[in-house]
Structure 1
Amino acid sequence: MFTSAAPRLSLIPLLLAAALSACGGGGDAPAATPADLPPDPPVVQQGPGALLSGAFVKTLSAADITQALRSPDSKVEEGVVPRYDVSSYRITYTTTDKHGVEVMASGLVSVPLKPAGQPSPVLGYQHATTFHDAEAPANKVEAFEPPLVLASLGYIVVSPDYVGFGASKGVEHPYLTAEPTARAVIDMQVAALHWRRQHGVADNRQLFLAGYSEGGYATMAAHRALHQSGHALKAHLQAAVPGAGPYDVLETLDEQLDRVRKLVPVLGAAINPGFLRHLGSTVRDEVRRLLLRQMVPEDGDVSYQTLFLDRYLADDRDAITAEHSVHLGWAPAVPVYLFHGRGDLTVPYSAAESARDALREAGATEVSLTDCTTPKFGHLDCVPEYFRFAVDRMGRLARDL
């Protein structure tokens, strides 16, 4: 989020694997009986959530993943051994774009190869900001990528590419717009469940949501949508672990604008939305360009829709609150484990504080915020610790790992 050096989670999956291996996962959780299991959502044949296709991509053995994690680039500690071979499948499904128009999207389903009939919990993994289509989950199916590493430790991992990537490349990615972001995640979950039923892939009806940076935002957007709509998957959801996301978009942009103001002092007081809206479009466009420079690299090949930024520069704070921020107007009924670094200059720590406080004030009783303790506390610095944290929190509740 807001950096030309966007988080490359594939560069640090080592600690993810280490934490998963060390955690062991859910051994003390009692097994659910059929009567305890929540019902599945209905199969969608047409419209958002409809499964369009599924195609096998590759199978990687636990040894393959272990070897990749131990490569010089991954910097993995000795002794980390994934537990399962993993088969991955690219699925396409129907969701909606920023205008509510149906569009074909894609994503990756990574399945741990367990004994026949043995179920697994489902993990919705939402990826961080990237500006390159080749880095979308269904396009980058490599042994050291988080979806495959997580699956090798026992989760069925469902990873949406998001609109604008994969099958929907060329469509503008609705960046930090709550409704289409949530839809891409939820519709992928529904389509992936349909695919699992078709292919006899057993899950235990436990669902977890996790992601870092934009993935944290997408996690909270989807969680809120499940909660507010009463979607059938709400009963499956056990916990969400959003890391370093810009949940409060106004707070995030206020902090980012302050950074631009310091970087370009010549603009001074002009860099203020309340003042900018009275100026000509030329000045607003220059400020917009400066803000985008903080976000989009020159070699990116994905088109980003920046409605939130245009509204911010027009000082339309009500619209940002209503359509972009994801922390207001709801009280989650399952644990939300927020994680953030106080020294994060990409997504401000105050965005996590604002989310924690708003959710608690709305009546949520299981919302916590854990600080990154990694030296420097920066956005990228904290990614490995986030994964250790997320796997620990999910592992306390997950069964059948």
Structure 2
Amino acid sequence: MTFILSLLILFFGVPAVHADRGELVSSRLRQHLTAPEAAAAAYPAGRVNSACPVDLYVLVYRTLDGKGKEVSASGAVAVPVGSPPVPVVSIQHGTVFGKDDVPSRLPVHLLADGIVFAASGYLAVMPDYVGYGESSASFHPYLHARSLAASIVDMLKAARTFSERKGVRTDGRLFLTGYSEGGYATLAAHREIEERHPGEFRVAASAPMAGPYDLMLTLDLLMRRGSSGSVPYLAFAFGAYDRIYGFGRLRGIIRDPYRSRVLRLLDGPQSGKAFDSALPDKGGAQLFEPAFLSGWKGRGAKRVKAAARENSLTSWKPEAPVAFFHCKRDSLVPVENAKAARASFKARGAADVRLVERDLGDHGSCFAPLLAEARSFFDSFGGGGE
């Protein structure tokens, strides 16, 4: 038996085992909010009728980057003080360009999405993702399903260890939600948990909001429409995939001088304003090489399209209920992709998949009202203790 095992190792190598994934490296109390303070901080994301006090912590933990290398990452945890056993909700943030524009570092008044859940009796877990906050990685693997899911699942593991050490009791239910990139990350984490961690966590329900779940469809619509508003996000996505899949440092994809600017900004971009100012303001026709743009619209750009298809999240069957929330007039993340995701899940036999469409404006104005609906959706399963 030993001889056979030795031969297997010789010919196939030793599979990577990341024993430290999800290890809690450190935790620190950032702020205590009294019940009135918690209710006030939560208000931008929704009213809490009977708020409880909230302790806000920062966690650092071990996870994987876009190439499977072990790195550290950080996030925030909002703990309802003095509550009975509570459900856990993981809240995934949307696209940010600045390393500090994440839950572990944002001021409390900008963490209303997490505070509103914690003040209502949920343990709110808010990952920063790899490349942000206190992460040892400088690069964020944007819209890369595997590493986003890993950073969320490993944060949940670290939060579980933290809760046990602090005597915070949870009731075994896990809810997942997020907006924009966070909606995409939510669905990626839901798939990861059900397919690879079914004995560790039980997803009670997920509520992805305004995310590009059918990534190939979303990118195709944006590339064909060519609006200036999508330029930073397309540059971020293709730049991230270049780092992960090796497209030759974006040669043949993004024109100079923008190509060198994108490559520089990927290593810790400082702000959305810096990203915007480094890129053209007249749409994709000015950003992309003409041959790449025409190839995308035809049968070319095969490697980039393959990466987009690999990172689409529609080819599986969720077991726990999923409610997609999306605004009809969203021009940045078109609702067509949420419709495609729902149709795909239903075709695969998923029992409870919903799509809630609202006419509340464009991408930037829909977050707060859709979050309130996601919270009501979770409350219908017993929710928190409010």
Work out whether the TM-score is over 0.5: yes
User: CA separation in 2, counterparts of 1:261 and 1:51?
Assistant: 42
Over the aligned positions, Cα root-mean-square deviation in angstroms equals 3.1
Match for residue 61 of structure 1?
34
Deviation at 1:143, TM superposition (A): 4.1
Match for residue 195 of structure 1?
162
Answering whether residue 24 of structure 2 is matched by residue 51 of structure 1, we say yes
Answering whether residue 81 of structure 2 is matched by residue 113 of structure 1, we say yes
Structure with the bigger RCO (C-alpha within 8 Å, sep 6+) is 1
Deviation at 1:85, TM superposition (A): 0.7
2:307 partner letter: A
2:345 partner letter: L
Deviation at 1:54, TM superposition (A): 1.1
Distance 1:60 1:228, change over 3 A: same
Deviation at 1:231, TM superposition (A): 3.2
Deviation at 1:160, TM superposition (A): 0.5
Answering whether residue 253 of structure 2 is matched by residue 284 of structure 1, we say yes
- Are the equivalent residues in 1 in contact too, given 2:48–2:116 (CA < 8 A)? no
Deviation at 1:105, TM superposition (A): 0.6
Answering whether residue 125 of structure 2 is matched by residue 158 of structure 1, we say yes
User: CA separation in 2, counterparts of 1:184 and 1:392?
Assistant: 26
DSSP-derived class of the 2:207 partner: strand
2:94 partner letter: A
Distance 1:56 1:68, change over 3 A: closer
* Higher helix residue share: 2
Answering whether residue 287 of structure 2 is matched by residue 319 of structure 1, we say no
Match for residue 283 of structure 2?
none
1:111 partner letter: V
Match for residue 266 of structure 1?
none
Deviations 1:358-396 (A, max 9, x none): 11112211111110132x3x1122212211210111001
DSSP-derived class of the 1:186 partner: helix
User: CA separation in 2, counterparts of 1:239 and 1:216?
Assistant: 13
- Are the equivalent residues in 2 in contact too, given 1:94–1:104 (CA < 8 A)? yes
Match for residue 8 of structure 1?
none
- Are the equivalent residues in 2 in contact too, given 1:59–1:87 (CA < 8 A)? yes
DSSP-derived class of the 2:302 partner: coil
User: CA separation in 1, counterparts of 2:90 and 2:335?
Assistant: 24
Match for residue 149 of structure 1?
116
- Are the equivalent residues in 2 in contact too, given 1:133–1:139 (CA < 8 A)? no
Match for residue 146 of structure 2?
179
The farther-off stretch of 143-152 and 176-185 is: 143-152
Distance 1:261 1:56, change over 3 A: closer
DSSP-derived class of the 1:168 partner: coil
User: CA separation in 2, counterparts of 1:151 and 1:392?
Assistant: 14
User: CA separation in 1, counterparts of 2:352 and 2:340?
Assistant: 15
Deviation at 1:132, TM superposition (A): 1.7
Residue pairs, 1:244-263, within 5 angstroms:
244-260=210-226
Gaps of 5+ in 2: 1-16, 230-249, 277-291
Match for residue 340 of structure 2?
354
User: CA separation in 2, counterparts of 1:297 and 1:201?
Assistant: 37
- Are the equivalent residues in 2 in contact too, given 1:45–1:51 (CA < 8 A)? no
- Are the equivalent residues in 2 in contact too, given 1:65–1:82 (CA < 8 A)? no
Deviation at 1:283, TM superposition (A): 5.8
Task: Using the aligned pairs only, state the percent identity.
Answer: 33
User: CA separation in 2, counterparts of 1:248 and 1:287?
Assistant: 29
Match for residue 4 of structure 1?
none
Question: Runs of 4+ in structure 1 displaced over 6 angstroms?
Answer: 310-313
Match for residue 391 of structure 1?
375
Deviation at 1:80, TM superposition (A): 5.4
Q: 1:345 aligns with which of 326, 331, 342?
A: 331
1:218 partner letter: A
User: CA separation in 2, counterparts of 1:114 and 1:151?
Assistant: 11
1:65 partner letter: A
Aligned residue pair count: 321
- Are the equivalent residues in 2 in contact too, given 1:109–1:158 (CA < 8 A)? yes
- Are the equivalent residues in 2 in contact too, given 1:119–1:400 (CA < 8 A)? no
Output the TM-score relative to the length of structure 2: 0.75
Match for residue 94 of structure 1?
62
Deviations 1:157-191 (A, max 9, x none): 01110001011165210001110010000000011
User: CA separation in 2, counterparts of 1:174 and 1:195?
Assistant: 26
The farther-off stretch of 361-370 and 253-262 is: 253-262
- Are the equivalent residues in 2 in contact too, given 1:50–1:93 (CA < 8 A)? yes
Deviations 1:114-141 (A, max 9, x none): 25xx111100111111112222101124
User: CA separation in 1, counterparts of 2:130 and 2:40?
Assistant: 32
DSSP-derived class of the 2:77 partner: strand
DSSP-derived class of the 1:285 partner: coil
1:318 partner letter: A
